Amino acid sequence: MKKLYFAIIALAALTLASCEKTPVGGTATQALAGQWSVLMQGVDSAGNVLYEDEELFGYGPFQIITYNTAENQPDTMWLSSMSVLNPSFLTFSLKVACDVNALTFEGKELVNYDGSHIDVRNGKILPKAAKTPSGMPADSIVFDYVVEGDPYTAYYDFIRITGFRYTGLVNDELE
């Protein structure tokens, strides 16, 4: 019985000793990926801010996410809003071209899930360029957003979306 007991212990020890942890790698777009707390601005063609956030549609801050595609290629990622906003052109899920090394992204005439066509221009991630509401540095995101047939272009030329990487801290929630 002792031999059986020692054999079981030896087998268990060998089994546990032979297990190796395989390091888990990141995704191809890891440097660009994240959850972001953002605000909107209505901007004219000269880059002047005409309307701030709630002046546009009364919605205030919202969340977007950037993440890799199923193909996990370094030149394409998803850009999606996380909240259901109205008007519907502010709810989007777009596959954009990206440059991981330059931390930039863009896309022309992208087809949204609802069939609308959207341009994403001048998209970039700026490391530690934002200041959260609690005063801590965070990565910044900024891009210009143009919807084909946007009925509000009489008031602005495009929407600029700006924000910071979501920290999860209560003190960093946008009001």
Question: Residue 74: which CATH number?
Answer: 2.40.128.220
Give the three-class secondary structure for 162: strand
Residue 155 lies in a domain: yes
State pLDDT tens for residues 95-107.
999 999 999 999 9
User: Where on the phi/psi map is residue 72: left (φ > 0), alpha (ψ -120 to 50), or beta?
Assistant: left
- What is the token pair recorded at 29? 């777009």
For the cut 60, the answer to whether the pLDDT of residue 78 exceeds it is yes
Best mean pLDDT range from 8-12, 32-36, 85-89: 32-36
What's the domain count of the chain? 1
In sequence order, the 6+-apart residues with CB closer than 8 A to the CB of 24 are none
Residue 10 lies in a domain: no
State pLDDT tens for residues 125-136.
999 999 999 999
Interatomic CA distance for residues 81 and 141, integer angstroms:
13
How does residue 11 score in pLDDT terms, banded at 50, 70 and 90? low
Residue 3 lies in a domain: no
User: What is the pTM (predicted TM-score) of this model?
Assistant: 0.81
| 49: β partners | 43
* 111-144 as b/e: b if 16+ CB within 10 A: ebeeebebbbeebbbeeeebebeeeeebbbbbbb
Cis peptide before 23 (omega within 30 of 0): no
Residue 112 lies in a domain: yes
Residue 87 lies in a domain: yes
Residue 53 lies in a domain: yes
Residue 34 lies in a domain: yes
Interatomic CA distance for residues 35 and 133, integer angstroms:
16
Residue 30 lies in a domain: yes
Domain region containing 45: 24-169
Please classify residue 167 by burial: count the beta carbons closer than 10 Å to its beta carbon, then call 0-12 exposed, 13-18 middle and 19+ buried: middle
* 48-73 as b/e: b if 16+ CB within 10 A: eeebebeebbeeeebebbbebbeeee
Q: Which DSSP category does 13 fall into?
A: H
State pLDDT tens for residues 136-149.
999 999 999 998 88
